Amino acid sequence: MTTLEIEGLTVKRGRSEVLHQVDLVVREGECVCLVGSNGAGKTSLIEGVLGLLPTKAKTLSFQGESLLGVRPWDRVRRGLVVVPQNRDLFAGMTVEENLRLGAIAAGDRTTADTVLAEIYELFPRLAERAEQLAGTLSGGERSMLAIGRGLMSRPKMLVFDEPSLGLAPLVVTSIMRTIARINERGTTVLLVEQNVHQAFALASRAYVLENGVIAGEGPTDELADSELMRRGYLGSAATGGVVTT
Amino acid sequence: MSTVLQLASTGLLQGLIYSLIGIGLYLVFTVMRVVNFAHGYFVLIGMYGVLSLEPKGFFPFLGAVVVAALGGALVGYLVQRLLLESGLAKGGHSQLVITLSLGIAIQYLFQVLHPEPFETIPNPYPFEAFTSSGVTISAPRMAAGVLSLVLVLAVSFLVYRTRIGTIIRGCSESLNGAIHVGINVRRVYRLTFALGCGLAAVAGGLLLPIQPVSPALGLELTIKAFIVVVIGGAGSLWGTVAAGVLLGLAEALGSLYAPGTFATALVYGLFFLVILVRPQGLVVRAASRIKPAETSTKVGVG
Amino acid sequence: MTLRNPLRYLDTPLRRVNAVVVTVALLFALVYPYLVPPPMVGVGFVALLYALRNFTWNIAGGYVGQLSLSHIVAFGTGAFSVAVLTWRHEVNAWIALVVGVLISAVVGFLISLLMSRFGVNAFFLALGTLALSLAAAGVAASWTFLGDTNGISYSGSEEGFAHLMWYIDPSGFYYTTLGFLVVITIGIAALMRFTHFGRSLPFIREDPVIAASMGIKVVRNQALAMALSMGLTSIAGTLIAQYVQIVSYESVLTVEIGVAMMVGSIIGGAGTLAGPIVAGIGIAVLEEFLRSFAVSSANVSSYTQIAYAVVVILLLRFGTGGIMPLWEAGVRRVFGTGRKPVAPAAAEPVGELVDGRVG
């Protein structure tokens, strides 16, 4: 069963079209990655899928139901949750308040405590800092909180927008391991990354986005040896992605 | 000495009403980053609402205040839904000019409907005045202050202790974050605007027995609400409450030393200075939340 | 700058149509006082005065995007300078006019500099300038030098252009205002077209940061535009004071005047040359129209204010840029563009609630 199906997606940012006729499919339980260099349109794709930017599409469906004309927050309520690039945390609220707000979409208040316990188990660091204001967390902790908040509504699918951005290599590895665990537990994952090596290690299939169009797709192990990779384009993007100082 | 005490207590009670007016504006501003230039005119809606219901006695008066509050909230809801919502995406100036124009429209609508200035209602409360150690407080003033305090506490309970309050704070903390957790931001905005306007209208209803109403009062109250919010800062609701009380006290004690119109001029002049020296109130918040870059024009110097 | 054949300017249908309209309107404005009885000439004067007021506000408010309410102070300064200097101390009215212009310009320059520390936040510019205007009104209301609550009344006997005063026939005021309007319009048009300063203003409005990176002195040019704008607004204040012969804080220092300037420019098309003028004249005609319905005069201003507000709210709500952009689009539709299509400067379509506020 397809979880996310995109066909002929065009996204506009301001007056300019930043994504042209993109096709992308994520099946249930999969971990798919979308790679591309800075400015290729990765974040625009996510914002288009969530309905934050004006879009046109032949098909844009989630779990078999069309998302066209559905408000962004209702897309979240259907189980399509994004862990955004700049985290978008509620900086003036505590870690626990942030997490509890994450459960708003689920609507069911009784399960919130169970999920909260699960998340504290997944990220013991967050449990230690439950009463701390989100704005005072370190980069890695903020990243954990954003993921935890995304998990609170028990989403069908999590979209990670550059989870490695701005983090130390060691933290990146740990975050990536967590994403793998989340996927193993049954959540469909779309990982959007600039850091190709990390992403390919995690995902089974990959899409390559270049200047707003899909330049290539396929299983990660095949794609890694492909013409596209040999052109050196991805290689440079990969190093550029890790060393973002 | 007793004059000072008398003025201080009147000022304190008046200040609590300003706090109530101020938190309405504060909520709308922190949640939506819209500065509602029509806010004081919603107080006017409350005042004229109660006036036209002509309540006789205490319970009819309370009923009239509730009706006026609901009316104010409804108008606010419609304004947000029909006029402001579509412009929010564009940012910039359209809400400023729309709310400013709306205020003018409300003022002159009342000018046509109630050409007589300084209309009021008789004391609706079953008491006349409270006297203690040389200080006399009329019943409407006492009641308005106390009820305002109760409402301020109720609003702070709503904002800080309830689920809907958490959602409202979430929207004010991060609009994108709110969308990412599935909050229906549009509905929260509508409700917040309605709540802010409703609070203004309640304050108007409570104010009516103390302060006769004229259409021109709306502007003055808008400015006072701004003063309260700017001085209170965007940090927490309590800053706004404190600033309201401060304004009430300053106004009452200031009347000892400066004659009427000049005192008003002083208040506005002071406000101008506050805007200049206290940009960390509304300004920082507005600048950093709406646009990440706030160094804008300084770049051009030299 | 070499002189070119001026007819070369008329290269598009829009420009040709506008040239015809402007010529006809100017000719009509010149003969108007001969066609109507004196009271209607007074209406004509008021219409031109509104146009002048809107136009001068538009220099800072429209071209640079400074939504200022301190123009109330400028308007009041113009009125009070003639009241204090000429009516009380018999200084020549023209000198008083110049003094008003200079004071207003200096005030405008300083306000803009002071407010620039808030960056481009329009809310705070509007709020701060409103507070300043209200403070000024409070001062005028309590200071006998400015007539306190009684105001200052005209006392004099001389008449004529040299004294900027005509008792019976308002056509003197009419032609003087027309002259000011024409000269200022041409001057500003030339300024916007031929000077580096003028050309920089729309860039500052669009994005001060980019403008600064282009080497534009943003703060200085904003302050200069504000000085120019407020200085010229003062002329309108002087003219109305001479016309009604009484000045008080209630007549020239009210928020309504500031809102009228702002809203008038927006209705006409902020940042356009002709928009504020068209809207000013339109509003005056509307007021006269309401009066002809035998609406009591107190209510005329109320209805006009309501109409103002409703029109501007609708214009903003539906995302149109005012009368002039509508007119231009209309002419282009009827006569064609006459050139390759250029991206219109119209506002972007109204987006969804969340669009554009993300990222």
Q: Which residue in B has a C-alpha nearest to residue A82's C-alpha?
A: B180
Check residue C11 and give its pLDDT: 74
Please state the rounded mean pLDDT for residues A204-208: 93
> In percent, how much of chain C has pLDDT > 90?
23
Encode pLDDT of C297-337 as tens digits.
667 778 878 887 888 888 888 766 778 888 888 888 887 76
Q: Which domains does chain A have, with CATH numbers?
A: 26-51+68-242 (3.40.50.300)
With b for 16 or more beta-carbon neighbours within 10 A and e for fewer, the C84-116 pattern comes to bbbbeeeeebeebbbbbbebbbebbbebbebbb
How far apart are the CA of B185 and the nearest CA of chain A, in angstroms? 8
Check residue C163 and give its pLDDT: 77
Environment class of C5 (CB within 10 Å of its CB; exposed 0-12, middle 13-18, buried 19+): exposed
Q: How many CB pairs under 8 A join A and B?
A: 68
Check residue B292 and give its pLDDT: 34
Phi and psi of C294, rounded to 5°? 60, 30
Instruction: For chain C, give the mean pLDDT.
Output: 82
Contact C117 B105 (CB under 8 A): no
Check residue B130 and give its pLDDT: 87
Confidence tier at C260 by pLDDT (50, 70, 90): confident
Q: Which domains does chain C have, with CATH numbers?
A: 9-20+36-335 (1.10.3470)
Please state the rounded mean pLDDT for residues B12-22: 95
How far apart are the CA of C169 and the nearest CA of chain A, in angstroms? 55
Please state the rounded mean pLDDT for residues B79-90: 82
Instruction: For chain B, give the mean pLDDT.
Output: 84
Contact A52 C351 (CB under 8 A): no
Check residue C118 and give its pLDDT: 58
Encode pLDDT of C129-167 as tens digits.
888 888 888 888 888 788 777 788 888 777 777 778 887
What token pair was written down for C69? 């309410």
Check residue C57 and give its pLDDT: 94
> In percent, how much of chain B has pLDDT > 90?
51
Set of chain A residues whose Cβ sits within 8 Å of the Cβ of C354: 52, 72
Is residue C240 over pLDDT 50?
yes
Please state the rounded mean pLDDT for residues A87-115: 87
Interatomic CA distance for residues A48 and C112, integer angstroms: 40
Q: Which domains does chain B have, with CATH numbers?
A: 2-300 (1.10.3470)
CB of A143 less than 8 A from some CB of C? no
Is residue B301 over pLDDT 50?
no
More confident residue, B302 or C100: C100
ipTM of the shown complex: 0.90
CB atoms within 10 A of CB B256: 10
Encode pLDDT of B126-154 as tens digits.
888 888 878 889 999 999 999 999 999 99
More confident residue, C191 or C319: C191
Q: Classify the C-alpha dihedral C73-C74-C79-C84 as positive or negative.
A: positive
Is residue A145 over pLDDT 50?
yes
Is residue C36 over pLDDT 90?
no
CB of A152 less than 8 A from some CB of B? yes
Query: Which residue, among C279, C250, C287, C251, has the nearest Cα to C263 in the 3D structure?
Result: C279
More confident residue, B209 or C212: B209
Please state the rounded mean pLDDT for residues A225-234: 65
Please state the rounded mean pLDDT for residues B275-289: 50
Interatomic CA distance for residues B209 and C178, integer angstroms: 51
Confidence tier at C229 by pLDDT (50, 70, 90): very high
Check residue C78 and give its pLDDT: 94
Interatomic CA distance for residues C219 and C227, integer angstroms: 12
Check residue A237 and give its pLDDT: 44
Confidence tier at B63 by pLDDT (50, 70, 90): very high
Residue of C58, C73, C127 to mutate when probing chain B, most B C-beta within 10 A = C127
Whole-model pTM? 0.84
Q: For A139-148, C51-60, C114-123, C134-143, which range has the lowest pLDDT when averaged over its residues? A: C114-123
How far apart are the CA of B201 and the nearest CA of chain A, in angstroms? 30
Q: For A148-162, B179-193, C147-161, which range has the lowest pLDDT when averaged over its residues? A: C147-161
Residue B87 near residue B95, CB atoms below 8 Å: yes
How far apart are the CA of A147 and the nearest CA of chain B, in angstroms? 11
Check residue A226 and give its pLDDT: 79
Confidence tier at C264 by pLDDT (50, 70, 90): confident
Contact B300 C352 (CB under 8 A): no
**For C316, which of B35, B94, B185 is closest by C-beta distance?**
B94
Residue of C123, C149, C201, C224 to mutate when probing chain B, most B C-beta within 10 A = C123
Check residue B170 and give its pLDDT: 93
CB atoms within 10 A of CB B62: 16
Encode pLDDT of B220-278 as tens digits.
899 889 888 888 876 778 888 998 998 898 888 877 777 666 777 777 777 777 777 66
Residue A57 near residue A68, CB atoms below 8 Å: yes
Contact C259 B223 (CB under 8 A): no
Torsion of CA B225, B227, B229, B234, to 10 degrees: 160
Please state the rounded mean pLDDT for residues C94-107: 94
Please state the rounded mean pLDDT for residues A77-85: 94
Check residue C7 and give its pLDDT: 65
Is residue C5 over pLDDT 70?
no
Which chains share 3+ C-beta pairs under 8 angstroms with C?
A: A, B
More confident residue, C241 or C143: C241
Set of chain A residues whose Cβ sits within 8 Å of the Cβ of B288: none
Please state the rounded mean pLDDT for residues A110-115: 84
Strand partners, B131: B136
Confidence tier at A126 by pLDDT (50, 70, 90): very high
> In percent, how much of chain A has pLDDT > 70?
92
Is residue A134 over pLDDT 80?
yes
At position C101, the amino acid (one-letter code) is V
CB of C350 less than 8 A from some CB of A? no
**For C359, which of A15, A43, A72 is closest by C-beta distance?**
A43
Is residue C19 over pLDDT 50?
yes
